[in-house]
């Protein structure tokens, strides 16, 4: 592992690792001993540092709080049977961070800063990477504006950070989703393709209404006609109808998921018919009604491969086949987990050892 000399390191004096029950990890509630930070000031990235994990001090006038000038990423690291820490596709997350940043007027984070910040942090906190199947180290890089100015304009100062969280599954059971045809997550020309904090905040209320009805999540539809399925907010969505893997084509209202891309690459490698195109609600509900919808699942870093148990539409719940029968989703889950953990070959070069 390369540790850049320019990254200042301040180690914690009180590790919290002995307090963690690694056999029962929740998602996103436990953080490791350290975090990475860097500041963008006067047009340059400076003051890269790894410091003890803890609260940060920001101006109450920072536009990140008022106007949502903030973006984030999600990645995972796992421990191989030989004890190496393996990170899944970090360069793809770095690139997507900068795609998101451009959309809301943020400076690019240089690849070196991202990668060396990550590897320095992970090397300090490597004992926090869980070993057990089903658990992993969730990596959350994020970038937010840090001006002290409440006028509306792109900021000039920013903070980039990475925090790490040992996690268990995001969804501990197959998910119940409801097709949303009233509210909109993302509109054409909007920020739906960016991993911008505001997209997630704006989706909370419609998702909460669905959760009050017993669903876990929504299946968002397009903002114009509500006739086409887009994504699920916490994950992209995929369907197996007969023998074909179908998923909504990327657009400016859908996040370009890295797990989505990985699933499509594996499916094509295995010779499966794959269609990335507009997917209408009618088509999926007809396939569900006639038994041709054999599988449906979400694909995301946090969610991994999340089987969809049922789809709610217009007041009716459509149950999908038993999870044990879902050949493709089960196979792709096993394959991805194996690649991430270093127990299966990595033909696409997705793994970075840190």
Site for ligand COI, rule CB under 6 A? 74, 234, 300-303
DSSP string of 44-66, one letter each residue: EEEEEEEEES------TT-HHHH
Tokens read off for 277: 């195109």
The C-alpha atoms of residue 152 and residue 300 are separated, in whole angstroms, by 33
Min dist. Cβ of residue 152 to ligand COI (A): 27
In the complex with ligand COI, which residue's Cβ is closer, 74 or 312?
74
Q: Which is nearer to ligand COI, 9 or 250 (CB)?
A: 250
| Bridge partners of residue 295, in order along the sequence | 240
**CA 307 → CA 192, 234, 237, 322, 326, distances in Å?**
23, 13, 10, 10, 9
Nearer to ligand COI (CB atom), residue 50 or residue 305: 305
Closer CB to ligand COI, residue 298 or residue 312? Answer: 298
Nearest approach, Cβ of residue 148 and ligand COI (Å): 28
Closest distance of CB 196 from ligand COI, Å: 11
Distances (CA, A) of 24 to 74, 170, 172: 21, 13, 12
Min separation Cβ 194 and ligand COI, Å? 12
Contact 152, 187 (CB under 8 A): no
Q: How far is the CB of 23 from ligand COI (least distance, A)?
A: 22
Residue number with CB closer to ligand COI (221 or 234): 234
Quote the strand ranges of 111-182, DSSP E. Answer: 136-145, 158-167, 175-180
């Amino acid at each position: 592992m390369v540790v850049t000399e320019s990254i200042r390191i301040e180690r914690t004096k009180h590790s919290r690792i002995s307090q963690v029950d690694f056999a029962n990890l929740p998602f996103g509630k436990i953080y490791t001993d350290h975090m990475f930070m860097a500041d963008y000031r006067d047009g340059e990235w400076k003051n890269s540092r790894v410091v003890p994990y803890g609260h940060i001090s920001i101006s109450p006038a920072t536009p990140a709080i008022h106007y949502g000038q903030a973006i984030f990423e999600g990645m995972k690291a796992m421990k191989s049977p030989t004890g190496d820490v393996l990170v899944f596709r970090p360069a793809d997350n770095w690139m997507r961070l900068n795609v998101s940043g451009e959309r809301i007027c943020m400076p690019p984070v240089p690849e070196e800063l991202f990668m060396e910040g990550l590897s320095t942090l992970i090397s300090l906190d490597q004992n926090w990477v869980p070993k057990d199947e089903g658990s992993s180290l969730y990596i959350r890089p994020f970038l937010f504006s840090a001006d002290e100015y409440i006028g509306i304009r792109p900021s000039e100062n920013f903070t980039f950070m990475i925090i790490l969280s040992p996690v268990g599954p995001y969804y501990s059971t197959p998910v119940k989703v409801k097709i949303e045809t009233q509210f909109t997550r993302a509109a054409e020309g909007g920020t739906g393709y960016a991993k911008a904090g505001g997209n997630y905040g704006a989706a909370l209320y419609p998702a909460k209404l669905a959760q009050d009805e017993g669903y876990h999540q929504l299946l968002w539809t397009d903002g114009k006609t509500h006739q086409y399925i887009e994504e699920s907010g916490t994950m992209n969505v995929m369907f197996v109808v007969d023998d074909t893997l179908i998923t909504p084509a990327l657009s400016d209202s859908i996040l370009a998921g890295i797990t989505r891309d990985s699933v499509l690459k594996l499916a094509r490698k295995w010779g499966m018919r794959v269609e990335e195109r507009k997917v209408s609600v009618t088509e999926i509900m007809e396939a569900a009604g006639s038994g041709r919808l054999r599988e449906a699942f979400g694909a995301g870093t946090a969610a991994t491969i999340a089987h969809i148990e049922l789809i709610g539409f217009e007041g009716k719940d459509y149950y999908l086949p038993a999870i044990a029968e879902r050949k493709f989703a089960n196979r792709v889950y096993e394959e991805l987990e194996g690649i991430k953990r270093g127990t299966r070959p990595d033909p696409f070069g997705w793994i970075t050892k840190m």
